Amino acid sequence: MKSLLPGLALLCAGLTAALPAQAAFPDKPITLVVHFPAGSSTDLIARTLAKEAGQTLGQPIIIQNKPGADGAIAAAEVKHAAPDGYTLLIATNSPMSGVPVMRKQSPYDPLKDFTPITDIGRYAFFLYTRADVPGDTLQGFIDHVKRHPGKLSYGSGNVTGLLSFAYVAQAAGLDILNVPYKGEPPVINDIMGGHLDAAVATAGTGMPQVKAGKFKALATVLPQRSPNAPDVPTMAEAGVGNFPIAPWLGLFGPAGMPADTVERLNQAFHTAMENPQVRQTMQMQDFMLTPSTPQALGQLVDEQLSSHRTLLRATGLEGSLN
């Protein structure tokens, strides 16, 4: 019996050597799907982070732009990808907590069909009015709308803009018409042209008009004042408390990703977000970095779904997207 042991040991060693070694993640390029067109603010944020995270991971992260349908096209594509960490989604609250409650039939379940990896940050959205619209404060504008029920209108170029203004209107009891648009640029143009009176939109599209004296920024939806617009109050400071809309950006993968792969990606993107040059770029975009654990991002999605559903039911907008 003892004479068999050396032979068995050699046989086991040979079998072990014959087994292919499992490659460490990642061993090939990673695709990061972005639901905005090239050149957009989110595209710039994604490319900046992808470059730095790719260097940490030792593999390039390739951006794939898939705009359209409020992000649902990009999200649905990543949902069906292999859960191996090589296809990721950088997504805003629009496809992850807006589309699922605004569509009568959502193409995915954001809690079941995706793996949260890390929160990335918050966009600076502001409530703008044209410079000649009465009211130099949010309360002043609200008073003006109340004096002219049904006479004023606001444009919405995305889910965040729609939900944010809808909440203000509901909280203040305003009778104001919503006019939906495909994107923010035409909203801004129609406010300048006198066809609309107000909108909630990003800093990138609205703030240039504020600096030119054509718009007024009455409040920001950020939980704190923007360092690039320190004189503009938060919604709470302007009198609209418990503001539930958080225009956030997060990193996701398909459901069922290995825990060690999720941790590797989480660490790589956190390292990217700690880079001083990256932080400077984000501040220039009026974007506040908020890295998190995967669990915290999942909780954020869950909370946002609940608050969005409550708001949409109250405003009659639930299931309003085609």
12 pLDDT higher than 70: no
The answer on pLDDT for 16 being more than 50 is no
Report the relative pairing of strands 30-34 and 87-92 from DSSP bridges: parallel
User: How large is the average pLDDT for residues 24-31?
Assistant: 96
Band (pLDDT 50/70/90 cuts) for residue 19 is very low
Q: Rounded to 5 degrees, what are φ and ψ at 86?
A: -95, -5
Q: Is the pLDDT of residue 125 over 60?
A: yes
Q: Quick check: 154 and 197 in contact, CB under 8 A?
A: yes
At residue 259, the 3 state secondary structure works out as helix
- Residue 105 is predicted with a pLDDT of 86
Q: Residue 143 has what pLDDT?
A: 98
Residue 49, classified by CB atoms within 10 Å of its CB into exposed (0-12), middle (13-18) or buried (19+), is buried
| Cα–Cα dist 22/20, whole Å | 6
CA distance 135 to 133: 6
3-state secondary structure of 159: helix
Using the predicted structure, report yes or no on whether residue 267 has a pLDDT greater than 90: yes
pLDDT band at 310 (very low <50, low <70, confident <90, very high): confident
Rounded Cα distance between 180 and 243, Å, is 21
Asked if the model's pLDDT at residue 260 lies above 90, the reply is yes
For the entire predicted model, the pTM comes to 0.84
Residue 149 CB burial class (10 angstroms; 0-12, 13-18, ≥19): exposed
Helix (H, G, I), strand (E, B) or coil at 181: coil
**221 is written with which tokens?**
């939806």
Asked if the model's pLDDT at residue 7 lies above 70, the reply is no
Give CA–CA dist 322/316, Å, rounded. 15
pLDDT for the residue numbered 313: 83
Instruction: Give the chain's length.
Output: 322
Contact, 291 vs 116, CB < 8 A? no
For the segment 160-177, the average pLDDT, to the nearest whole number, is 94
Q: How confident is the model at residue 321 (pLDDT cuts 50, 70, 90)?
A: low
The residue-averaged pLDDT of 250-279 equals 98
Averaged confidence pLDDT in the chain: 91
- Mean pLDDT, range 153-175, rounded to an integer: 93
pLDDT tens, residue by residue, 43-60: 999 999 999 999 999 999
- Picking from 225, 206, 212, the residue whose alpha carbon sits closest to that of residue 157 is 206
**pLDDT average, residue stretch 253-265:** 98
Phi-psi region of 34 (alpha: psi -120 to 50; beta: other; left: phi over 0): beta
Structure tokens, 84 = 């191996």
For the chain, the first-to-last Cα distance in angstroms comes to: 75
The predicted-structure confidence for 169-222, as pLDDT tens digits, reads as follows: 999 999 999 999 888 889 999 999 999 999 999 998 899 999 999 999 999 998
Tell whether the model's pLDDT for residue 72 goes beyond 90: yes
Banded model confidence at residue 37, pLDDT cuts 50, 70, 90: confident
Query: With pLDDT > 90 as the criterion, what percentage of the chain qualifies?
Result: 75
The stretch 74-86 carries a mean pLDDT of 98
List domains and CATH numbers for the chain.
30-122+247-315 (3.40.190.150), 125-238 (3.40.190.10)
